[in-house]
Amino acid sequence: MDAPNGRADRPDPGRLAGAAFIVVIVVFAGLRLFEIGPWVLPAFDVYAYWATRAGLDYANAHPGATGAYLYSPAFAQVIASLTALPWPVFAGLWTLLIAAPLPWLVGRFAIVLLLLPPVAMSVVLGQLDLLYAAVIVLGFRWPAVWVLPILTKVTPGVGLLWFLVRREWRSLGIALGTTLAVALASAVLDPRAWRDWFQLLSRMEFPALGGGLWFLPVPLWIRLSLAAALIAWGARTDRRWVLPVGVCLSLPTVWLNSPTILVALLPLAGAGRPLAGAGRRTPRAAHPSDTARQAPIRSSVSPT
């Protein structure tokens, strides 16, 4: 028997969009797995991650250079089991991994956003932008996830001002404590690599415009100051949407793919203004957009 109004015969746009996203990502990962086209060239950032299997060379690493690994030794150690895989296998799995947060963050709109140049570029390069977006959304409930942006790009740690300004000491302590614990454990395993990484950071090198490099030509100290002010204001006024903007601005270099982090604005859109009943706890949501619409927790209540 046909359903009322013939709805049984109508395709579900959400299912079609989800299937389209899966097909596109799986096909692209397959191209890398089978070494088809230019998608496994060593010019991509994903190759720099895989190359850490041969050791870390911070002395010759420079921002914007092909194959430059600039993250902390801790990140290389965490992904060591993956980098042990052959390069094409690693590239294919990495593509699936970094694309996975997109449908979780935006649901059926994932395929549409994937077609946007910054998002597509982020996935092609193998950058962590979508993972940072997921960290921002998850971090309100599980602040320990801030360890990822802090131990990779460092400066996105300005996002912890959210907890500081709101006096959410437990969340701040968890974020800082987790980061410190991971860093210390990593340093015990490879103290020399950490010394070399700190020397890299102390050089404060930044890429130069030209030569095919395109980025926001605003000094880091200006962007970091703006990000801190924006996040502090958002924390005082219960505007969660400021965090993706602040984190994006705070990156050491804002590349063309960096605005991908702003994908987190969509699930946080419901927190774009002060909400009533801020002191009440709300049930855990199954989707980040539901979590974002929940009332923010007052500083006197520890987040769960």
Work out the number of other CB atoms within 10 angstroms of the CB of residue 281. 11
H or E segment at 120?
helix 117-125
Q: What is the pLDDT of residues 91-104, one digit of tens each?
A: 999 999 999 999 99
Whether residue 148 is contained in a domain is answered as: yes
Q: Which residues pair with 210 in a beta bridge?
A: 213
Judgement on whether residues 120 and 232 belong to the same structural domain of the protein: no
Last residue of a domain, one of 127, 146, 161: 127
Whether residue 203 is contained in a domain is answered as: no
Judgement on whether residues 30 and 149 belong to the same structural domain of the protein: no
Give the predicted TM-score (pTM) of the model.
Answer: 0.85
pLDDT at 130 over 70: yes
Judgement on whether residues 152 and 52 belong to the same structural domain of the protein: no
Identify the CA nearest to 113 among candidates 251, 249, 264: 264
Coil, helix or strand at residue 304: coil
Judgement on whether residues 141 and 100 belong to the same structural domain of the protein: no
Separation of alpha carbons 194 and 188, rounded Å:
9
Q: Render 208-246 in DSSP notation, one character per residue.
A: -SBTTB-B--S-HHHHHHHHHHHHHHHHHTT-TTHHHHH
Q: What is the pLDDT of residues 41-89, one digit of tens each?
A: 887 899 999 999 999 999 888 887 777 899 999 999 999 999 999 999 9
145, amino acid identity? V
Mean of all residue pLDDT scores within the chain = 86
Residue of 291 and 278 predicted with greater confidence: 291
Residue of 212 and 154 predicted with greater confidence: 154
Q: Residue 22 sits in which domain range?
A: 13-127
Last residue of a domain, one of 127, 162, 179: 127
Taking a C-beta distance cutoff of 8 angstroms, is the pair 244, 280 a contact? no
Coil, helix or strand at residue 44: coil
Last residue of a domain, one of 127, 147, 176: 127
Q: For 99-115, b where at least 16 C-beta lie within 10 A, e where not — what string?
A: bebbbbbbbbbbbebbe
Whether residue 6 is contained in a domain is answered as: no
